[in-house]
Amino acid sequence: MGLVARAIEAAGIPTVTLNMIWPVQRLIGMPRVAAIEHPFGRPYGDVGDVETQSNVLRAALEVATSATEPGGVVHLPFVWPEDPKETQWHPAEPSPIIAMIKKSRSS
């Protein structure tokens, strides 16, 4: 994602990148980051939650105006309503790389 943001920006189009794992900014260097504390798979908000989807979209668009220098991270104020323990985001079965790592650690 960050690589795509960099390429778009390098072509002359400003970008804003929403990000849950915003510390990857140190690794990739994205022009404008809007950090969001939402679960994987639903960055803009829950199914049918028009209000949150609109508010996150609006907040991300505002970063396009407020950011003045490359590499900044704006922390958006949204708080997911569920406890992480109750928030289902994992796939039905572990991804191939996770399965491989777990297998190698257990053997």
CA–CA separation, 21 vs 48, rounded Å? Answer: 24
Shortest Å, Cβ 107 to another protein: 16
The residue among 89, 92, 91 whose CA lies nearest residue 80 is 89
Shortest Å, Cβ 24 to another protein: 6
- Cβ atoms of 64 and 14 within 8 Å: the answer is yes
Give Cβ neighbours of residue 74 (< 8 Å, ≥ 6 apart).
Answer: 32, 33, 34, 35, 63, 66, 67
Which CB atom, from 13 or from 107, has the smaller least distance to another protein? 13
As given in the structure block, the two tokens for residue 77 are 């104020």
Which CB atom, from 77 or from 107, has the smaller least distance to another protein? 77
Shortest Å, Cβ 82 to another protein: 7
Shortest Å, Cβ 68 to another protein: 9
- The full length of the chain comes to 107
